[in-house]
Amino acid sequence: MTLGVIIGNRGFFPDHLAESGRREILAALERAGVDAVLPAQNETKSGAIETRAEARLCADIFKRNADRIDGVVVTLPNFGDERAIADTLRMSGLNVPVLVQATPDTPGLMTIRDRRDSFCGKMSACNNLSQYGIPYSLTTLHTEAPSSPEFVRDLDWFLAVCRVAKGLRRLRIGAIGARPAAFNTVRYSEKILEANGISIEPIDLSEILGRIARMKDDAPEAQAKLEAIRRYASTSAVPEAALMKMAKLGAVVDGWMRQTDVTISAVQCWTSLEEFFGVVPCTVMSMMSENLFSSACEVDICGVVGMHALRLASGTPSALLDWNNNYGDDPDKAVCFHCSNLPKHFFESVRMDFQEIIAGTVGKENTFGTCVGRVKAGAMSYARFSTDDRAGAIRGYTGDGEFTKDPLETFGGAGVVRIPRLQHLLRYICERGFEHHVAANFSTSSAAVHEAATRYLGWDVYWHKA
C-alpha cells in the first residue's frame, strides 16, 4: 500500500523536531511495508510543510501519484501549521482517508529548544480540516510516537480503513442469475449502489448454461478446474459426472468474471441450477471466496458487499451466513449456518456432499457440491449492508464476536457464535428490517469497516460494541 505523508512544521518551533519527525514516520511506514509519497528532504524547509508554496508543492506531488495513494498520514512532530496541512489536502483533490498523528512531548525536554506542543497543534489541525470539510481519522491516544506499539496498531487499523474505502468505491459485482422468487429479503437498489460507486454486471443463467453446453469435457479450462476441485475438498462421496459439471460451471464463471472485470459475485444458487443442470454451485462459490473473490448465495448483492468489506479489512476470506438458530438458553449465543458455500478457511475440516435441504424437492442426485463441516473456533467480525430505497441511502451494522467450540450436531456448514449483548443486536436487526443474512470473517475488523463506511463513504452504519 502507499500513503501520502504530510509533515507539519511551524516556524517558531524547533526545526530539528520536524527533521527527526520525518525520519521517525518514514521508518514506521517502512517497517509496516508501506510506500510513502511526499516531497524530498531538500524540496521544503526541514522536509516538512509549512508555507502555502510548500503546500502547493506537496499537493502537486500527491496529484501525480493519485492513482496509487490509498490514504494520507498527517504527522505533527511539533505544533505544525494547520493552514498548510488543510491547504495541501484541498489542493491535492485526493478523496482518501486521512490519519492525524501527533508526537508526545517528553518530560524534562520542555524548554524552547525541545518543546513540541503537538498536543495542542493536533486540535488546530483537526479544526481546520473540519472547516474545510475534509474527513479524517484519529489515533487511539491523542499523542503517540511513530515508534510506539500504539501507533503500530493504529497504522494497521488505518491501512484496513484505506483498503475498505478504496475497495468499495471501485467495485464491480457480478449478479449471476435472477433472485430466487422466495427471497424478497435480498432485494436491493442497483441505482443506490451505483450512486455509491458500486456497479452491477448481470448475466442470465441461460447464458451460463449455454456456455457450459459448448464446453467439451477435455477443454483445458474444464480439466484445470476439475483438478482444483479435487485438491480443494474430499470428493469421495461425489459422482464423477457431478464433479465435471461443477468444473465446467466454475470455468465458465471464472472466464465471464475476467471478461467483464468483475471482482466478486452473487449467484442464483437454487433451485434452477439443480433442476436444469444437476449440481449445486456451493463448492465453486466456496473456492472463489477462499481465493478472496467473495461469492454470496441467493443473489444477495448487498450481502457480498459486506463479505468484501470484511475481506478488504482483514485480507482473509469471508462467508455469508444465516442468523439461524438460538443456542439453548444462552442469550449471547446463536447458531450461524449455511447449507453451504463457506470457504475452506472457515472449517475445522470439510468434505463435499449433497445438499440435504434441496434434495427433498429436486432429488439427491441433483444436489452434489455442497461443503459440509463444522466452523472452527476463533475471533469473528460480522457486517451487513442494505440499500434503503425510502431514504435513498446505504445503511448497515457491524461488530465483533467469536465462533465457539460449543457442541453442535447439524448438516451443512455451521458454527456457534457468541456476541456480547446479542439480544440488543437482534432487536436492532428486526426493528430496522435487516436481512437474515450476515457476512462473517475470522478477524477483529469491525472498527475499520465502520470507520471506512461512515466517515469516508457516508453510509449509515451502526457499530455494535461489546
- Where do we find the cell 456448514? 413
Distance, in Å, from the CA atom of 343 to the CA atom of 397, rounded to the nearest integer, reads: 22
Cα torsion 437, 442, 446, 449: sign: negative
Residue 186 has pLDDT above 90, yes or no: yes
Q: What percent of the chain has pLDDT over 90?
A: 93
Which pLDDT score is estimated for 270? 86
Q: Are strands 393-403 and 460-464 parallel, antiparallel or unpaired?
A: parallel
Which residue(s) pair with 418 in the sheet? Answer: 333, 402
Of 185, 184, 173, nearest in space to 266 by CA: 173
HSE-up of residue 79 (Cα within 13 Å, Cβ side): 13
For residue 98 the three cell numbers come to 486521512
H/E run at residue 71: strand 71-76
Which pLDDT score is estimated for 11? 80
Q: What is the pLDDT of residues 9-44, one digit of tens each?
A: 998 788 899 999 999 999 999 999 999 999 999 999
Distance, in Å, from the CA atom of 257 to the CA atom of 421, rounded to the nearest integer, reads: 40
Query: How confident is the model over 345-368, as a mean pLDDT?
Result: 94
Whether 401 contacts 382, CB under 8 Å: yes
For residue 399 the three cell numbers come to 461488530
Whether 28 contacts 151, CB under 8 Å: yes
Q: Which of 37-46, 321-330, 356-365 has the lowest mean pLDDT?
A: 356-365
Which pLDDT score is estimated for 87? 98
Burial class (CB within 10 angstroms; exposed 0-12, middle 13-18, buried 19+) of 28: buried
Q: What is the pLDDT of residues 61-93, one digit of tens each?
A: 999 999 999 999 999 999 999 999 999 999 999
Residue 108 has pLDDT above 90, yes or no: no
Residue 131 has pLDDT above 90, yes or no: yes
SS (H, E, C) 304-339: HHHHHHHHHHHCCCEEEEEEEEECCCCCCEEEEEEC
Which pLDDT score is estimated for 424? 98
Which pLDDT score is estimated for 111? 82
Query: How confident is the model over 357-361, as a mean pLDDT?
Result: 89
Domains of the chain are: 2-168 (3.40.50.10940), 170-464 (3.40.275.10)
**What backbone phi and psi angles, to 5 degrees, belong to 3?**
-120, 135
Q: Are strands 378-388 and 437-441 parallel, antiparallel or unpaired?
A: antiparallel
Average pLDDT, the chain: 96
For residue 76 the three cell numbers come to 505533527
Q: What's this model's pTM, rounded to 2 decimal places?
A: 0.96
Query: How confident is the model over 330-347, as a mean pLDDT?
Result: 97
Going by pLDDT thresholds of 50, 70 and 90, the confidence category of residue 182 is confident
Going by pLDDT thresholds of 50, 70 and 90, the confidence category of residue 439 is very high
Which pLDDT score is estimated for 115? 87
Which pLDDT score is estimated for 448? 98
Which pLDDT score is estimated for 310? 98
Which pLDDT score is estimated for 109? 81
Distance, in Å, from the CA atom of 225 to the CA atom of 250, rounded to the nearest integer, reads: 7
Kindly write down the DSSP assignment for every residue of 249-307, as one continuous string.
HHHHHHHHHHHHT--EEEE--SSHHHHHTSS-SHHHHHHHHHTT--EEETT-HHHHHHH
Query: How confident is the model over 362-387, as a mean pLDDT?
Result: 96
For residue 242 the three cell numbers come to 457431478
Which pLDDT score is estimated for 172? 98
Q: What is the pLDDT of residues 221-279, one digit of tens each?
A: 999 999 999 999 999 999 999 999 999 999 999 999 999 999 999 999 888 999 999 99
Distance, in Å, from the CA atom of 367 to the CA atom of 360, rounded to the nearest integer, reads: 10
